[in-house]
Structure 1
Amino acid sequence: MEDLFNFKDIFKKSALNLESFNSLSYVDMFWGLLISLSVGIFIYWIYRKCYRGVVYSHNYNMTFVLMTIITTLIIMTISTNIVLSLGMVGALSIVRFRTAVKDPMDIIYMFWSVSAGIACGAKIYPIAVVGSLVVGATIWVLSKRKDNGSPYLIIIHYEERAEEDVKRQMRKIQSVLKSKTIRKTGIELTVEIKMKGDNLSIANALSATDGVQDVVVVSYNGDYAQ
């Protein structure tokens, strides 16, 4: 029974001792925040250079820098006191993020920022720096890899008499039929194609075809139009 009381006293002293806040020096805080800021800026630069979507969001990219620093602050805070760590876990458990993330690569950048922030907050700086360099180099190489072009949806409205001419133009490129709607006023054809850069020669050729009313080109990521 006496041992049980001694254990409780030891736990209370170690858990509620406010002097444990002084265990983190100003030097550790300075280096932790400086390295997390540097890693966050590196993540920002990689995202900016390797972004392959349609509309780049500067504000969204800034969140990676802030997420790295804030995660570092959280880890530094909860590492100084067990009571704060338990309270922080309880507080964060009720947080819900409802922002839809359309590109799976954006989730990778989020995990990267959080992981780097955790390493900096735990004062494991080599993991934060070397790990970020490896991840950044991997993303850079894969994003610069040459492919057959970016996917696009091309929507064509034409008259029935232009059916053969449109098919002849579509045979010249790699295309996949998505939908075809036949109306009394004309035909609507939706096809997935791949083009490199801003080469819209196929769209220009289709629009110049006799009987074609209009041609619309939409950026497409395989799941949804952007």
Structure 2
Amino acid sequence: MDTLNFNDVFKSSILEKTSSFSIVDSLIGLLVAFLVGFFIYFVYKRTFTGVIYSHTFNLSLIIMSMATALIIIGISSNVLLSLGMVGALSIVRFRTPIKDPIDIVYLFWAIVSGILCGAGFIILVIVGSILIGAVLMIFGNKIKVENPYLLVIRYNQAAIENSLEHVISENVRKHTIKSKSVMPGNDYEITYEIRVKEKDMSFIDNISDMEGIKSAIMLSYDGNFTA
């Protein structure tokens, strides 16, 4: 009959679990995750075309890649731990708004790279990251997309609309009325989506000089305009 002794009660399984994975492989996975994350950092910085560049967001891509790799390395040899990790992560809520869809692409890229590094698919993550980075660099820097402008005009005479339409039609390539509203004091406000001719915006001065025009404002518009 086996007897339970003092050593059996206080026996720790930490060393047994530590020996179940390779420290060298773990260090290689984390190192590759850092290098791939730094590559993502570089590509994001070179291809950023937004209004305000966020260094903290870009830095978080490196940390996210390494942290994801660390999680995958930890749960790869323990099914129960993997189930517990999934349950723990399911209650996490990220409340930081992501306004630009391309930022979601970079986040997904960093997470996928971390998963592949943690799982040991080093060649796959390197080749895939090079191809993805090349596509983003080519399409982000070489192909320029012309964004329209919003022209917001405030005036106090309804009869001026025909003259205003004529001036805009002669000076822009394309225009569309987005909204029109009546302001307090019988003022009117109309918003056009326009595409200018070869960056020529001098016509806005002519509009401002027209009788009855109270203000004329032109804004760069990328499709996410909020008042």
When normalised by structure 2's length, the TM-score is 0.80
Stretches of structure 2 that go unaligned for 5 or more consecutive residues are 1-12
Structure 1 contact 150–196 (Cα < 8 Å) conserved: no
Aligned length: 210
**Equivalent of residue 50 in structure 2, options 49, 53, 64:** 53
Offset at residue 119 of structure 1 (A): 0.7
Higher mean C-alpha deviation, range 149-158 or range 164-173: 164-173
1:156 aligns with 2:153: yes
Match of 2:166 in 1: 168
Give the Cα–Cα distance (whole angstroms) in 2 for the partners of residues 50 and 205 of structure 1: 36
SS in 1 for 2:32: helix
SS in 1 for 2:94: coil
Q: Provide closer, same or farther for how the CA distance between residues 196 and 37 of structure 1 changes in structure 2, counting only shifts above 3 A.
A: farther
Match of 1:177 in 2: 177
SS in 2 for 1:98: coil
Match of 2:226 in 1: 225
Higher mean C-alpha deviation, range 83-92 or range 214-223: 214-223
Q: Provide closer, same or farther for how the CA distance between residues 203 and 101 of structure 1 changes in structure 2, counting only shifts above 3 A.
A: same
Q: Provide closer, same or farther for how the CA distance between residues 142 and 214 of structure 1 changes in structure 2, counting only shifts above 3 A.
A: same
Give the Cα–Cα distance (whole angstroms) in 2 for the partners of residues 31 and 197 of structure 1: 52
Match of 1:109 in 2: 106
1:96 aligns with 2:97: no
Offset at residue 220 of structure 1 (A): 2.6
Q: Which amino acid aligns with 1:68?
A: S
Identity of matched residues, %? 40
**Equivalent of residue 67 in structure 1, options 43, 53, 64:** 64
Q: Provide closer, same or farther for how the CA distance between residues 222 and 32 of structure 1 changes in structure 2, counting only shifts above 3 A.
A: same
Structure 1 contact 21–81 (Cα < 8 Å) conserved: no
Give the Cα–Cα distance (whole angstroms) in 1 for the partners of residues 84 and 55 of structure 2: 33
Structure 1 contact 179–189 (Cα < 8 Å) conserved: yes
1:132 aligns with 2:129: yes
Stretches of structure 1 that go unaligned for 5 or more consecutive residues are 1-15
Q: Provide closer, same or farther for how the CA distance between residues 68 and 203 of structure 1 changes in structure 2, counting only shifts above 3 A.
A: farther
Offset at residue 162 of structure 1 (A): 4.1
